[in-house]
A and B are shown apart, each in its own frame.
Chain A
């Protein structure tokens, strides 16, 4: 019986990451494709959670009929509280952090719906939709344009994200949704700033370059709008 349970557990541990890897489809994948890091993080995370739930059950059973903590119970406790959950915490946090940068994560709040719909609309000519449909940005489209570069930019974006979750959950947001600060040029220049297409464009005369670099002329003055005008009624 114990061997059967062990075999089932082993099958589950191997099968879960494989299922997570096979779950996503799309364009043909390169030969020998074994999935992305985040798919494996997710798969191993799920496998470790299931393993730990089983370990917690064993540990509980080893404590149930005893008035003292036996050596066997101590072993189960150490693994089920002290060892495996730390790995689960690490993998889950990494997965959550990665997941919170996806377009789906931004679109999970209904107030973002019109912006995400426009982004994914191939007929839309807004700046965001143009970047999306031509894959000027490969992935994490919302996050890439709405976070600054470097570690400080990531931390700032995460803190702002917490504020967004709080305001969304408590309903303390104001419609129509607007960007908190004027959109800084530095986020555009991070990708475009050193490209020849940008530097040699007729619309970017040499005398205007300092203003663009300083941000005193906004990129959106000529290239906007980035998103459709938020309509109050559409966001309720």
Chain B
């Protein structure tokens, strides 16, 4: 069994968070209630933000590793 670099794991976590965000968005679009909207705003959107930060971090780390920045 190979050990995966942290970067790949972080990106997989970002994908998982994006999937949860997508499911919450789908729930809101299918059945819009104030409670679902609130959950989407305070859980779904922060999850996407974390995923974006993880992606940005991975891109920066990649560029640093290649000595481009």
Interface residues, chain A, with chain B CB atoms under 8 Å away: 42, 45-46, 49-50, 52-53, 56, 59-60, 63, 66-69, 73-74, 77-78, 80-82, 85-86, 88-89, 91-93, 95-100, 102, 105, 108-109, 161-162, 164-165, 168-169
Contacts and interface: CB of A to CB of B under 8 A. Distances in A.
A59 B8 CA distance: 11
Contacts of B51: 81, 85
B7 A53 contact: no
A165 B38 contact: yes
Given A68-B5, A69-B8, A96 B45 contact: no
19 contacts: A49-B25, A52-B22, A53-B22, A56-B18, A60-B12, A60-B15, A68-B5, A68-B8, A69-B11, A69-B62, A77-B55, A78-B55, A91-B29, A96-B36, A97-B37, A99-B32, A99-B37, A105-B33, A109-B34
B34 A46 contact: no
A56 B20 CA distance: 11
Main SS of the interface on chain B?
Answer: helix
Contacts of A42: 29
Given A63-B8, A63-B11, A67-B4, A85 B48 contact: yes
Given A67-B2, A88-B22, A88-B25, A96 B15 contact: no
A93 B21 CA distance: 12
Task: Give 7 closest A-B pairs by Cβ, nearest first.
Answer: A99-B32, A96-B37, A92-B25, A108-B33, A45-B29, A49-B26, A81-B55
Tell me whether chain A's interface is mostly helix, strand or loop, or mixed: helix
A97 B38 CA distance: 10
Contact of A46 (B14, B18, B26, B59): B26
B39 to A, nearest CB: 9
A98 B34 CA distance: 10
B22 A95 contact: no
B35 A52 contact: no
B68 interface: no
A81 B15 CA distance: 7
B63 to A, nearest CB: 11
A113 B45 CA distance: 30
Nearest to A60: B15
